[in-house]
Amino acid sequence: MLRDDVIEYSLDAHHSEEQGKKIRKKIWQVTAILTAITIFEVAVGATIKQSSDYWQVVKWLFIGLTLLKAGYIVLVFMHLGDERKAMRYVILVPYFIFICYLIFIALYEGTALGNIWTLYRA
Amino acid sequence: MAGHASKQIDSKTLWGGQMSPFSTSYGKLMMWFFLVSDALTFGGLLIAYGFTRHSCQDAWPIGEETFNSLPFLGHGYPLIYVALMTFILIVSSVTMVLAVEAGHRMDKKGVVKWMIATIIGGFFFVGSQAWEWSHFIHGSEFGKIELEDGSMAIVKGHFGEVENFTIFEAGRHHKVGDQITSDDMDLDHEYRHAIAEGHVENNVITLHDGSKANISKKDNEHMELMIKTDGGERKIGDHIKDHDLAAELYNKTVNAGVKGNVIFGANLEQNEYGPQQYGQFFFFITGFHGFHVFSGVIINIIICLGVIRGVYHKRGHYEMVEKTGLYWHFVDLVWVFVFTFFYLV
């Protein structure tokens, strides 16, 4: 194999009927997990109000569950978990570093701006 | 997914220019790079939303208060509708991954079956979003009201339906003594529209043709007001739970006959839910996502036609299905984040 040829790599993705059965089982398992998480989120969101004392816990729980859902979608449905490690890191690491920075700076600045508006509103 | 990705290859062969270090075809790799850049766009939008929300602090609307309606069933179902939309999209993602799996077994019939299911799911989602937009634009039954001290409040309660209008001053179309009932027009809609325009004063409505009519309407019940903008007396977070007081304050505002005192629904300039930017972010983020879903459906249809014609079967592999699958899953992935940050928290 001397060239990066579309057909050669694509043929490698083929699998047999038995392997397919296992893969389908995994897909349905992940479906059940994603559905359960969504139902749980809505149930919690409808019962615990934002004014509640537990809201901070619930908020971080929601964010954690979202990342869990995203992980299942990216790694199983998009098959990134089955790709080479090098490719996985090329896709995920730069994105996460940049996004984390952006979240930090935007929320920090947003809060500061809000405080200034509150201070000088009168 | 067995094959090259999981095979042991010594690093000299792998990185020595003999093959792709990622063991992936060019097309699939470029799809991934496109998705990373698209993810940055959506990340940027959601982070801009977070920035604005943090700067507005308590004035920001709460998802479960804003989105609590279902088609045909009315109000009082917080988040159920968006949860249903999320479920539809997750299911269509599942059918897509099943189509990809069938492609890996060269099972043409399976690919067609699951792709059609995916396309149907996609159309369901786009349709749901259309309803959601329509509902957001038209707004609630009560709207957002401005109280005498300048504070703004959103309203909860049961809307007493309008029974009829009785004309007492003739206009171009209606005569004195005419009674307009729900057979003639959508009275609730007409009533709300007149309130927004400032055409209701002391229980008298001025209709489009200039005639004036007395309003016969059932009382609103279980009224509550939640202050969302500071005024002279009332501050953000105040919650008027006394039904009678809330109803009195509401009726006063509605019957003042001032245009702009009551706002229904949303457009790009104002909305009844919260700060101006809230509506803009709603339209832009869900709109941009909906556009992605729509284009995803179109791409799926095109690829599905290719599958039916046997293009990929002749080629010996179904990688095109895999690539559109990546795009389709990405759309689902974005919605998971929109669902959390726009509706849940």
Token pair of B82, please? 């968006």
Question: What total of structural domains would you count in chain B?
Answer: 2
Residue B11: inside a domain, yes or no? Answer: no
Residue B7: inside a domain, yes or no? Answer: no
Q: Please tell me the distance from the alpha carbon of residue B205 to that of residue B180, in angstroms, as a whole number.
A: 12
- Which of residues B209, B244, B267 is at a domain's end? B267
Beta bridge partners of B256: B201
Dihedral sign (CA B48, B51, B55, B56): positive
Q: Where are the domains of chain A?
A: 15-82, 84-122
The complex scores an ipTM of: 0.89
Range of the domain at B294: 34-139+278-344
Q: Which residues contact B62 (CB under 8 A, 6 or more apart)?
A: A50
Is the minimum CB–CB distance between A6 and chain B shorter than 8 Å? yes
Residues 18 through 47 of chain A touching chain B, CB cutoff 8 Å:
19-20, 23-24, 27-28, 30-31, 34-35, 38-39, 41-42, 45-46
Beta bridge partners of B224: B156
Q: Please tell me the distance from the alpha carbon of residue B329 to that of residue A78, in angstroms, as a whole number.
A: 7
* Residue numbers in B near A49 (CB within 8 A): 64
Can you state the angle between helices B319-338 and B80-104, rounded to 10 degrees? 160
Q: Please tell me the distance from the alpha carbon of residue B112 to that of residue B114, in angstroms, as a whole number.
A: 6
Of B51, B64, B79, the CB nearest to A106: B51
Indicate yes or no: pTM above 0.90: no
CATH number for the domain harbouring residue B59: 1.20.120.80
Q: Please tell me the distance from the alpha carbon of residue B290 to that of residue B295, in angstroms, as a whole number.
A: 9
Asked if B4 and A73 come within 8 Å (Cβ–Cβ), the reply is no
pLDDT in 10s for each residue of chain B, 345 residues? 445 566 677 777 777 766 777 888 888 899 999 999 999 999 999 999 999 999 987 778 887 777 877 777 777 677 888 888 999 999 999 999 999 999 999 999 999 999 999 999 999 999 999 999 998 998 888 888 888 888 888 888 888 888 888 888 888 888 888 888 888 888 888 888 888 888 888 888 988 888 888 888 888 888 888 888 888 888 887 888 888 888 888 888 888 888 888 888 888 888 888 888 999 999 999 999 999 999 999 999 999 999 999 999 998 889 999 999 999 999 999 999 999 998 888
Of A17, A31, A59, the CB nearest to B94: A31
Is the minimum CB–CB distance between B142 and chain A shorter than 8 Å? no
Of A10, A38, A110, the CB nearest to B54: A110
